[in-house]
Amino acid sequence: MKRLLPVKWLSVLVLGLFLLLSGKSWAAEFEPVSYTAYTSLFWLREAGVPEATEYAKATGKQHLLFTGKIKNFYTLQPVNMLYHEMRYAALNEYIQQNGYKNVMDIACGFSSRGLYMARHGIHFVGAEFPAVAVYGNQYLAKCLKPEEVKLASYEVADATDKAQMMAAADKMEGPVCITMDGLMMYLTHEQQASVLQNIKAVLQKHGGCYITSDFSARDFVMGASKVVYGEKNAREVYKESAKVYEEIADADFDQKFFATDEEAKKFIAAQGLKVKQIPLFKESFKLYSEKGLNKLQLQRLDDLKKAKILWLITLE
Domain boundaries defined on the chain = 7-315
Q: Does position 17 have pLDDT exceeding 50, yes or no? A: no
Average confidence score pLDDT of the chain = 88
pLDDT at 72: 86
Mean pLDDT of 281-303: 96
Whole-angstrom distance, CA of residue 129 vs CA of residue 159: 9
pLDDT level of residue 27 (50, 70, 90 thresholds): very low
DSSP 4: P
More confident residue, 160 or 248: 160
**Distance (Å) of CA 42 to CA 77, 106, 157:** 11, 18, 23
* Predicted pLDDT at 162: 97
The predicted pLDDT at position 35 comes to 60
Q: Using CA of residue 102, residue 290, residue 297, residue 223, what is the dihedral sign?
A: negative
Query: How many CB atoms within 10 Å of residue 35?
Result: 23
Q: In which band, very low, low, confident or very high, does the pLDDT at 19 lie, cut at 50, 70 and 90?
A: very low
Across 58-67, average pLDDT: 88
pTM, two decimal places: 0.88
| Predicted pLDDT of residue 67 | 82
What is the tens place of the pLDDT at every residue in 114-132?
A: 999 999 999 999 999 898 9
Q: Of the candidates 182, 244, 250, 191, which has an alpha carbon nearest to the alpha carbon of residue 217?
A: 182
* 107 vs 161: CA distance, rounded Å: 12
What is the distance between the alpha carbons of residues 119 and 77, in angstroms, rounded to a whole number?
A: 29
Q: In the predicted model, is pLDDT for residue 15 greater than 50?
A: no
**Reported CATH class of domain 7-315:** alpha beta
Summarize pLDDT for 222-276 with one digit per residue, the tens.
Answer: 999 999 999 999 999 988 887 777 676 666 676 778 989 999 999 999 999 999 9
Q: Which residues is 315 bridged to in the sheet?
A: 273
The percentage of the chain sitting over the pLDDT mark of 90, rounded to a whole number, equals 73
Residue 194 has pLDDT above 80, yes or no: yes
User: If you average pLDDT over residues 61-66, what whole number do you get?
Assistant: 84
